Structure 1
Amino acid sequence: MLAVEGSIGGGTMTPWVTLSRAARLIGVPRGVLQREVADGRLASNDGLVSLDALARLYPDWRPEDSGAFERTAKVREEAFGRRVQERVLPPQEVLAQRLFAQSRELADARAHLSRYHELVVALRERIEGFGRAAPAGALAELAAELDLGLARVLATGPVDALTVMDDMLKIVSAEVTVRPSGRVFFVEGRDSLLQAGLKAGLKLAYGCGNGTCGLCKARVVSGEVVKTMPFDYPLSEAERLQGHTLLCAHSAASSEIVIETLEAQGPSEIPEQEVEVRVRSVAPLAPDTLLVHVQTPRGSRLRFLAGQSATLYGGAADTDAHATWPIASCPCDDRNLHFHVARDARDALATMFFDGAFRPGDALRLWGPSGDFVLAEDTGRPLAFVACDTGYAPIKSLIEHAIAVDAAPAMSLDWLATRSDGHYHANQCRAWAAAFDAFRYEAHQAADAAEGAEALASRMAEALDLPKHDVYVAGPVAFVDAACARLANAGVPAARLRALVL
């Protein structure tokens, strides 16, 4: 949301923006700016910061530093024409409404400026008239001061790059504030409000995702939305008058909107669901690890939290081969579910996958989600992730969620492999470390999980201030027990240590 400095505390007409928008403009995590505010280096008023203060804090900022130029260049390289519009730009009708709203604001500003100019000119003429009738030094000084002030106002100053970038972002990405949580997310491209909220890590209520169930109903407090697809759920006339709409079937028409809806507070508020899924692909991540990709129907998506698990059944009966595996993918893509499956003779379903029993298009039954291995909300503390072998799967989901939420000031990942091909996703881990200055990644190798956990935790204690971290551990029982014991001895409070045994 945008305000004007004069409307907050007086002074010059400097734009104020939300902390989330400021973070996008500068290209830093929101948590970094929160620390600047907490330390008194960045002034904040009711959750807003001024672009002037932001420019003083980051005097060397350039538009290309925010990553907007690189993202645009990448899109140009990957696609043209229609594909660019589909990936980057909102639908034409949404763009038209946002441009119209911004043009109206610009026209109002120009009209006000013109009236101020006319007022000053008229005042200057009156002063000249008074001066001719009764010459006085005071009037001459006032006229000179007025001329000087008018010259300063009309002079062309340097372009404020932050303001220009903010205006551009308001057209291509709408800012949505959620009440009562106060969370903020951005709608980009052709995403619906629901899709954008899920991508930002919000735990919004929803069911079908196609406008049938009505579970994603929310009230639009301010701003305008536009329908992006037809829906069958019948909103009552009273609900329409109160501003209720379906998040899955609408996108943001104005550049800033406020909606009112409740978010899930934890795993207990996510209902268990039974869904028929189909195998999309089974691909090797390593000789002893498979990536199993299943897809839900469009009208029966799986709602889950990052870090949770699901049970897959190889047939219709509960007695058929089945296994509970952590979901390795992000909740924002609730149709496409990924599982990292290790070769295990004791796991009948895993053996069937390795033997080629399932092919793309085959139907499976899924039950879930389950488990409470999820991120603690809004702690503001650094996050430390610890994984052994395929314990990386739920950790990957947590990391992607933490990046989407953009609240952790720093993250680290220590991954132990007990076999030679155990770091099957090392490229992704190195990419995170390269992309984020405050992301630390270390790979560890050991034949024995418990001994490896001891060495890994000791290394973490040397590299990190562990008592100030929230720590998440996932892997086999021997690894989890040894790692948690060593981390507790290193000062990690029990309330900040969460573990998942595979």
Structure 2
Amino acid sequence: MKTVTINPGNVSFQVNDEETILSAALKNGLVVPYGCKDGACGSCKAKITAGEVDYGTYQKRALSEFEKKTQSILLCTAKPITDVAITANLLSVAKEYQPKKLPCRVENVKKVTDDIAIIYLKLPANQKFSFLPGQYIDILLEGDKRRSYSMANAPREDNLIELHVKHNPGGLFTDSIFGFKSESKVEIKEKKILRLEGPLGTFYFRKNSDKNIIFLASGTGIGPIKAIIENLALENLQYNIFLYWGVRKPKDLYLSQNIESWSKKITKFTYIPVVSEASVEDNWKGRTGFVHHALMEDHNSLVGYNVYACGSPLMVNAAFDDLTKKLNLGEKNFFSDAFTIAADINK
């Protein structure tokens, strides 16, 4: 057993052998920024200031060799070899948002495009499930497998959770939803009982800020952003909100009606859809190209803004690099949730 100390704050906790620093921190009620929990997104990056760690297995895009040489680690894969001190941002999250496991029932499966479905899960009426809009859950499957999906709604009185799921061919979870045969025994249909764990992740709205907001989404990354915006629509907002949503084809803009309703509820709300692969047949007359490039075309500086980005790791990483280096966005003003699909392959 090793001791890990987080600074600033000088907060220490114990880490068992073969346990990651992130896992031990969460077990001790300490929340640091994190996302995928499997070394793919880079959200849990921290600096090691003393001691030695086993870096674990991770994707190179999440932690570069340069970052590794400058003492950066991923808390979700790093295991302490000695007692360790790290620099990380400890978040204040109420106990009611601590993760727990509970059953749920598939209430409805609604296919909104040929490869995107909205799944509604019903939670037990006698078990309170509190979460922050933008967080995600893990669907627990046989053989200790799990699949992560962001919740696409703010907390509801009817105990429903909404998930936006894109078909990933060969996916352990998604093949069943779209009627494809799979070697797995996973079957997703109405009234099916599943188990979940949540809430998870640190992608949620920071209320202690008066900065203008830019939401940047690609594909089904609109889901958790939808949850945040629906919650914000209930409040008397005094700052500008911009939503940039990037998709491949116009047909993939499956939330157009919802977004129109947000425009009526939020006074200073601007919506910019961006299509990357529009054809002549699509007759698309809106913005084209990469979604974060559209943002950069519209803004000369992001000083005074918070940016919330959600979607593919390629988009999230490119947006972070370009917005912080070219538009003066502070690194601490960029909040992200990178969707990783490798974990959804049936192995």
TM over 0.5: yes
The structural deviation recorded for 1:265 is: 4.3
Native 8 Å contact 2:120 2:161 kept in 1: yes
Q: Hey, what's the Cα distance between the residues in 1 that align with 2:171 and 2:244?
A: 27
Residues 348 and 328 (structure 1), Cα distance of their counterparts in 2 relative to 1, 3 Å cut: same
Quick check: 1:298 aligned with 2:298?
Answer: no
RCO higher in structure (CA 8 A, sep ≥6): 2
Quick check: 1:310 aligned with 2:137?
Answer: yes
The structural deviation recorded for 1:469 is: 1.3
In the alignment of these two chains, the number of paired residues is 233
Residue aligning to 2:241: 411
The structural deviation recorded for 1:268 is: 7.2
- Secondary structure of 1:441's counterpart equals strand
Residue aligning to 2:107: 280
Match of 1:368 among 183, 186, 198: 198
Residue aligning to 2:154: 330
Q: Hey, what's the Cα distance between the residues in 1 that align with 2:264 and 2:96?
A: 36
Residue aligning to 1:172: none
Quick check: 1:482 aligned with 2:306?
Answer: no
Structure number with the higher strand fraction is: 2
Q: Quick check: which has more Rg, 1 or 2?
A: 1
- Structure 1 outlier segments of 4+, above 4 Å: none
Residue aligning to 2:223: 393
Give the TM-score of the pair, scaled to structure 2. Answer: 0.62
Residues 327 and 408 (structure 1), Cα distance of their counterparts in 2 relative to 1, 3 Å cut: farther
Residue aligning to 1:31: none
What is the root-mean-square deviation of aligned Cα atoms in Å? 2.4
Quick check: 1:493 aligned with 2:330?
Answer: yes
Residues 268 and 301 (structure 1), Cα distance of their counterparts in 2 relative to 1, 3 Å cut: closer
Native 8 Å contact 2:274 2:291 kept in 1: no
Query: Structure 2: where are the runs of 5+ without partners?
Result: 1-90, 181-186, 279-288, 340-347
Residues 353 and 459 (structure 1), Cα distance of their counterparts in 2 relative to 1, 3 Å cut: same
Match of 1:343 among 160, 167, 182: 167
Native 8 Å contact 2:233 2:265 kept in 1: no
Residues 439 and 278 (structure 1), Cα distance of their counterparts in 2 relative to 1, 3 Å cut: same
Give the TM-score of the pair, scaled to structure 1. Answer: 0.44
Residue aligning to 2:296: 458
Residue aligning to 1:319: 144
Q: Hey, what's the Cα distance between the residues in 2 that align with 1:363 and 1:434?
A: 37
Residue aligning to 1:30: none
Q: Hey, what's the Cα distance between the residues in 2 that align with 1:269 and 1:436?
A: 29
The structural deviation recorded for 1:352 is: 1.4
Q: Deviations over 1:225-254 (max 9, x none)?
A: xxxxxxxxxxxxxxxxxxxxxxxxxxxxxx
Counterpart amino acid of residue 307 in structure 2: V
Q: Hey, what's the Cα distance between the residues in 1 that align with 2:155 and 2:167?
A: 26
Native 8 Å contact 2:101 2:197 kept in 1: yes
Counterpart amino acid of residue 396 in structure 1: K
Q: Deviations over 1:123-164 (max 9, x none)?
A: xxxxxxxxxxxxxxxxxxxxxxxxxxxxxxxxxxxxxxxxxx
Native 8 Å contact 1:381 1:408 kept in 2: no
Q: Hey, what's the Cα distance between the residues in 1 that align with 2:158 and 2:332?
A: 30
Counterpart amino acid of residue 296 in structure 1: L
Q: Hey, what's the Cα distance between the residues in 2 that align with 1:434 and 1:305?
A: 24
Percent identical residues = 20
Q: Hey, what's the Cα distance between the residues in 2 that align with 1:410 and 1:490?
A: 18
Q: Hey, what's the Cα distance between the residues in 2 that align with 1:374 and 1:305?
A: 6
Residues 496 and 347 (structure 1), Cα distance of their counterparts in 2 relative to 1, 3 Å cut: same
The structural deviation recorded for 1:409 is: 1.9
Q: Hey, what's the Cα distance between the residues in 2 that align with 1:483 and 1:500?
A: 12
Native 8 Å contact 2:107 2:190 kept in 1: yes
Q: Hey, what's the Cα distance between the residues in 2 that align with 1:385 and 1:403?
A: 14
Q: Hey, what's the Cα distance between the residues in 2 that align with 1:469 and 1:345?
A: 38
The structural deviation recorded for 1:343 is: 0.9
Native 8 Å contact 2:244 2:271 kept in 1: yes
Q: Hey, what's the Cα distance between the residues in 2 that align with 1:346 and 1:453?
A: 28
- Secondary structure of 2:231's counterpart equals helix
Native 8 Å contact 2:106 2:193 kept in 1: yes
Counterpart amino acid of residue 342 in structure 1: K
Native 8 Å contact 1:323 1:347 kept in 2: no
Query: Structure 1: where are the runs of 5+ without partners?
Result: 1-263
Q: Deviations over 1:293-351 (max 9, x none)?
A: 0101101232111110001135xx3435x310000011244710000000111421011
Residues 417 and 477 (structure 1), Cα distance of their counterparts in 2 relative to 1, 3 Å cut: same
Residue aligning to 2:303: 467
Structure number with the higher helix fraction is: 1
Quick check: 1:431 aligned with 2:255?
Answer: no
Q: Hey, what's the Cα distance between the residues in 1 that align with 2:265 and 2:130?
A: 29
